[in-house]
Amino acid sequence: MADYKAPLRDMRFVLNEVFEVSKLWAELPALAEVVDADTASAILEEAGKVTAGSIAPLNRSGDEEGCSWDNGAVKTPAGFPEAYQTYAEGGWVGVGGSPEFGGMGMPKVIGAQVEEMVNSANLSFGLYPMLTAGACLSILNHASEELKAQYLPNMYAGVWAGSMCLTEPHAGTDLGIIRTKAEPQADGSYKISGTKIFITGGEHDLTENIIHLVLAKLPDAPAGPKGISLFIVPKVMVNADGSLGENNALGCGSIEHKMGIKASATCVMNFDGAIGYLVGEVNKGLNAMFTMMNYERLGVGIQGLALGERSYQSAIEYARERIQSRAPTGPVAKDKAADPIIVHPDVRRMLLTMKALNEGGRAFSSYVAMQLDTAKYSEDKATAKRADELVALLTPVAKAFLTDMALETTVHGQQIFGGHGFIREWGQEQLVRDCRITQIYEGTNGIQSLDLMGRKIVGSGGSFYKHLADEIKVFVASADANLDEFTKPLAAAVQNLDELTAWVLDRAKGNPNEIGAASVEYLHVFGYTAYAYMWALMARAALGKEGQDEFYASKLGTARFYFARLLPRIHSLSASVKAGSESLYLLDAAQF
């Protein structure tokens, strides 16, 4: 497998030339104080060095060794504790954290690039700081000032880690039926009892403490999701002076044996009257959880993108070196027994598909991150509200479409290697296995599609969607004629999505099954259309510069491939949506 190299040139192109993020930061006083173009560039450069030098070399060995469990203790693979210490000492765990408690305070659009790098280097490794960052976000936004001061500095510093304990054996998507209990104590704390499963980083040897955020119900809580509260439950109790005390009454009962991400400890966690502290208000735990969910779901989408990028880097190196057969038009490498496989049309199709989906995904994830920054930091209420509604609309697309495309991309990378792609030592099969979980956790992609269709489209009466559609139409109307080859098919794609959205809104009035029946294909039509917007923006930034630098010529060629070969997928998907729900209900359960 090729050594990982952070795609810094493309990241800078997206940030500086496509979106001109410095202009956004200048308009947001809270960000203008902490970041500018030079600071951002230096951060990305250093992150590229750390991820490529310290973390990427552990990817395959970590997969081979995996995590081990012994009497409640979990050991991560060789090299992981040392690499984590290096990562933490660089401040990377707290890259987006509040400066008040020791974080870097970087905007999400910078954090998104760092996340891509660490997850490309080693997804299993990247999950540990990701879960810590998510826990920090909920604590920062909902915990008391006392709890923030007690926990956030060490979590941002990477001295302590975090986990999110939501899922139970009988309750995955439907968190309203969780059984974990929280009993109030006289001193204001709570005793937490119950079992949680699939807990990423629930136990490990990377840090001296793990701060669990646990969803639980009080004895008098109302039924369903309105009766859920959130609690901080430390693995090791923290004394008033910040020192560590006794172990809390909790433990890791086992770890899962998984298809992929084997160096990430996925734990069964048992809470046996463990001491916990309320985060936010009683029965408002889901509110606190959803504060971090938009960030986490975008983060999972970025994991998919990251794996696609890693697969592409190996595939392109292999395609340039592996010689097999001659080009259809005759010998290219006349001094060799055969030509490099990159000359063959089908290999080029797969490589260009990977490149187009990766670079479109990078632009799209950065765009969503910019909306998160605007929603969080804008002092103009209307601007912040629009950005917040765009985030709500685009988050399920970012999670589901990026990861669905990532599986296609990693499979293409494996296929380019032929038989070697099926062999462990080349690394491509690991990326396929690791990628598969991204479509499942943090809400399955089917659930993301239902969220987009049911809550964000039908639930808003199409108003959230109108923000994006109107923005694209303004871009098309204002574009120069030399962009016609990109803006005309983009305009047609948006018109198709307009019509499809109106069709589903109308059909859903008479038949609620239409929402679920349309949701997956609709999300994909939405995703391809959103990527078309990204590619048109990138083409605008590259046009006229292709003679200066091969980078721009490559960018324009990839844009043309996207519009010619990938965007047309929307037509068959749209036809599937308009086929309606009837065919899904032709069979009784016994007939399956």
Identify each DSSP E strand in 125-208 by its residue range.
160-165, 181-184, 190-200
Please report the pLDDT score of residue 1 as a whole number. Answer: 78
Is residue 174 within 8 Å of residue 286, measured between CB atoms? no
Q: What is the DSSP letter of 283?
A: T
Q: Alpha-carbon distance 253 to 267, whole Å?
A: 7
DSSP line for 119-147: HHH-HHHHHHHHHHHHHHHHHHHHS-HHH
Please report the pLDDT score of residue 131 as a whole number. Answer: 96
Please report the pLDDT score of residue 174 as a whole number. Answer: 82
Residue at token pair 């951002």: 40
Please report the pLDDT score of residue 140 as a whole number. Answer: 97
Q: Is the pLDDT of residue 444 over 90?
A: yes
Please report the pLDDT score of residue 333 as a whole number. Answer: 96
Residue at token pair 């084997």: 262
pLDDT tens digits, one per residue of 347-377 = 999 999 999 999 999 999 999 999 999 999 9
Please report the pLDDT score of residue 171 as a whole number. Answer: 85
Alpha-carbon 486 to chain mean position: 27
| Angle 334-338-342 from CA coordinates, rounded to 5° | 100
DSSP line for 386-413: HHHHHHHHHHHHHHHHHHHHHHHHHHHH
Q: Alpha-carbon distance 532 to 535, whole Å?
A: 5
Mean pLDDT computed over 37-49:
97
Mean pLDDT computed over 484-496:
98
Q: Alpha-carbon distance 529 to 538, whole Å?
A: 14
CA proximity to 231, closest of 142, 292, 146, 156: 142
Q: Is the pLDDT of residue 415 over 90?
A: yes
The length of the chain in residues reads 592
Within 28-107, where are the H helices? 29-32, 37-50, 59-65, 80-89
Say which residues have a Cβ less than 8 Å from residue 101's Cβ, sequence separation at least 6.
140, 148, 149, 152, 153, 156
Q: Which of 203, 359, 429, 442 is catalytic?
A: 442
Please report the pLDDT score of residue 173 as a whole number. Answer: 81
Please report the pLDDT score of residue 570 as a whole number. Answer: 98
Q: Is the pLDDT of residue 392 over 90?
A: yes
pLDDT tens digits, one per residue of 500-512 = 999 999 999 999 9
CA proximity to 328, closest of 346, 352, 316: 346
Q: Is the pLDDT of residue 388 over 90?
A: yes
| Angle 447-453-458 from CA coordinates, rounded to 5° | 135
Q: Is the pLDDT of residue 547 over 90?
A: no
51: its two tokens? 């991820």
When the pLDDT of each residue in the chain is averaged and rounded to a whole number, the result is: 97
Please report the pLDDT score of residue 172 as a whole number. Answer: 80
pLDDT tens digits, one per residue of 152-168 = 999 999 999 999 999 99
pLDDT tens digits, one per residue of 297-354 = 999 999 999 999 999 999 999 999 999 999 999 999 999 999 999 999 999 999 999 9
pLDDT tens digits, one per residue of 247-292 = 999 999 999 999 999 999 999 999 999 999 999 999 999 888 888 8
Q: Is the pLDDT of residue 412 over 90?
A: yes
In angstroms, the Cα distances linking 118 to 41, 121, 137, 236 are 16, 5, 19, 28
Q: Is the pLDDT of residue 526 over 90?
A: yes
Alpha-carbon Rg for the chain in angstroms: 24
Dihedrals phi, psi of 232, to nearest 5 degrees: -85, 125
Mean pLDDT computed over 208-234:
96
442 belongs to the catalytic site: yes
Please name the helix (run of DSSP H) or strand (run of DSSP E) that holds residue 255, with its range, or none: strand 250-255
CA proximity to 199, closest of 189, 212, 217, 218: 212
Q: Alpha-carbon distance 35 to 40, whole Å?
A: 7
Helix %, strand %, coil % of the chain (to 5): 60, 10, 25
Say which residues have a Cβ less than 8 Å from residue 459's Cβ, sequence separation at least 6.
none
Domain ranges in the chain are 446-584
pLDDT over 90, % of the chain: 96
